[in-house]
Amino acid sequence: MADVDFTVEGHIANVRLNRPQGLNAITGEMDDLLFAAWKEINANPDIWAVILSAEGEKGFCIGADVSGGAERKTRMALGGGLTGIGGPLVTCKKPMVAAVQGFCVGGGFELAMCADIIVAADTAQFGLPETKVGIIGECGVVHRVVRQLPYHIAMQLILTGDRIKADEAKHYGLVNEVVPYADLADAALRWARKLNAASPLAVQAAKAAALGRLGHPLEVALMTRFEPIEEYATTEDKMEGERAAGERRKPVWIGR
């Protein structure tokens, strides 16, 4: 079994870190497998949503595996480029649900924050241990956490190395739902199905627009033309939505 499992069921891609003996620390091989997964997810029109999860109750991911010493000479970036740490940023165009349990720290925390929805087991702990152990390097996680948490809570994590538990993370808006560990997989699947109940092309266009102008002033975002939104206007799904509304039934999306 590979250290990253990639499967597709229906319109949902499942990307699962499968190295629990190392708390799912990401090796070079895993990085390559993740990069291949994101490429397929972005290119395959029949994939509408993604669940990112990890094997083992103790940890979702503790970041990059540094046990091998020097970094690879040719690498994408942590998480196959999804995080942007150490290399080019790969943006997942499809909505993503992260199912998090146990330790979610360092680069693993960064990986979880790349998702659009986070479901956490009540065992989850989020943190940035770097400064506590005297390490600071490529700090994409620092830039994400200060944007996704209240400033003082983010700085608490960055400067002290403290961790926050799942219920605190939900309180601060980092996590969408907290469930018992035994219910984590079902909860993530429920969220993915909820995402897929909406028009997949509309969801993808909305995500592209939201992220595409996230760092810009509001007036710039409001004046921007978004090609995915304009392209959606001529799709079969757009017409199906109008037909379904007129016939008072649920739409049947095809992602085209």
Cα 190 to Cα 246: distance, rounded to the nearest angstrom = 28
71 is a catalytic site residue: no
DSSP letter, residue 162: -
The separation between CA 96 and the C-alpha centre of its own chain, rounded to angstroms, equals 5
247 is a catalytic site residue: no
The residue assigned the tokens 């659009």 is: 116
Residue 168: how many CB atoms within 10 A of its CB? 15
| Catalytic one of 40, 55, 57, 130 | 130
| Catalytic one of 29, 55, 57, 110 | 110
CA-atom Rg of the chain in angstroms? 19
Q: How far apart are the first and last CA of the chain?
A: 34
List, in sequence order, the alpha helices (H) in the chain. 28-43, 107-113, 140-148, 151-160, 166-171, 184-196, 200-212, 218-223, 227-232, 236-247
How many residues in the chain? Answer: 256
Cα 254 to Cα 196: distance, rounded to the nearest angstrom = 11
Active-site residue list: 110, 130
